[in-house]
Amino acid sequence: MIRSALSLFLITILAAGAYWNIWNFKRSAGKLPPRERDEVVVRQNQFKGVREKLAEMGYRSGRIALITRRNLDPQPQTGVDGKRLYETQYNLAPLVVWTRTTDTPLILGCFVDEETPPEIPGFIKIYDAGNGLMLLRRKPSQ
């Protein structure tokens, strides 16, 4: 008798704890901002067109160079450049993102939150995402 009462009591405690845990999770999750406002998700969405174009071109692995406005107008690197590098590497994996060189088959121009140059000397624009990201290829030597 005591064993069955103790079992019933423990089952009730476990069930109540589980329901409380689920209720608490739903309440906490309801306070979170929408996924679309998360900075990482916003950046992933910015890279979506670039990833699709690379896949369309069959360029699924290899090296890709990253250039910013500071590469075009020789300026020292900043913390923002490091952040852009890591964001680009995260969003374009398994491609390997290189900086400080354009000796790669493709170059990604990252002019997000910067003035996008209308034309980049020495490069052919392959794809413009319209959000500051563009795929480039070096013009052939003449």
Average pLDDT over residues 1-13: 91
Note the pLDDT of residue 134. 93
| 97-114 confidence digits (pLDDT tens) | 988 788 888 999 998 877
Dist CA 142 CA 139 (whole Å): 9
Nearest in space to 133 (alpha carbons), one of 87, 73, 101, 78: 87
pTM: 0.73
| 37-79 confidence digits (pLDDT tens) | 888 888 899 999 999 999 999 999 999 999 888 887 778 888 8
Provide the percentage of residues in the chain whose pLDDT is more than 90.
Answer: 51
Pair 136, 107: CB distance under 8 Å: yes
Q: Where are the domains of the chain?
A: 1-32, 36-138
